[in-house]
Amino acid sequence: MTKKKNELWEWTKALLIAVILAAFIRYFLFAPIVVDGLSMMPTLEDQDRMIVNKFSYEIGTPKRFDIIVFHAPEEKDYIKRVIGLPGDTIEYKDDILYVNGKAYNEPYLADYKKQVPDGPLTDPFTLEETKVARTTVPKGELFVMGDNRRFSKDSRHIGTIPFGKIIGKTSIVYWPLKDAHIVTVK
């Protein structure tokens, strides 16, 4: 009888440790997220499942063109691409991104731009003409955009994203399995 109690106790301890470890990993390190919508097409498809690295910005800072997950004003989590960092000026003209006056290539949009027959993929704007209504991205905040520029609700509409609203960085699509890959900027 004692041997059965010991074995049951050992299994219970192992299960408790596994549950605590899983909860710790999910809450502090990594979490799954489902892409909801078309705003990141063609990079991410609706219903793609991804892993969010929650600690990446605890040990580092966001970089231009990172794909991040953040808490949006509508009590929903959004997935967007970092375009502007604190202190940056942002302008889009002739379908070209300008950051601090320098033109940037966006290779992740190249194929998509070819598919848009009637005008630019991204309408021209300056940071001042967006919801941000400032000349530069504020300190401690990011300017983000979806890759599907015509159908993305992003910083042009909701303003900049405070660092405190960022959940983490994401770059691994794990489902559907046939489309599993690491998202990179070419």
Residues assigned a catalytic role: 39, 80
Can you list the pairs that 120-126 forms with residues at least 24 positions away whose Cβ atoms lie under 8 Å?
A: 120/94, 120/95, 121/95, 121/149, 121/150, 122/92, 122/95, 122/97, 122/149, 122/150, 123/92, 123/149, 123/150, 124/91, 124/92, 124/93, 124/94, 125/91, 125/92, 125/156, 126/89, 126/90, 126/91, 126/92
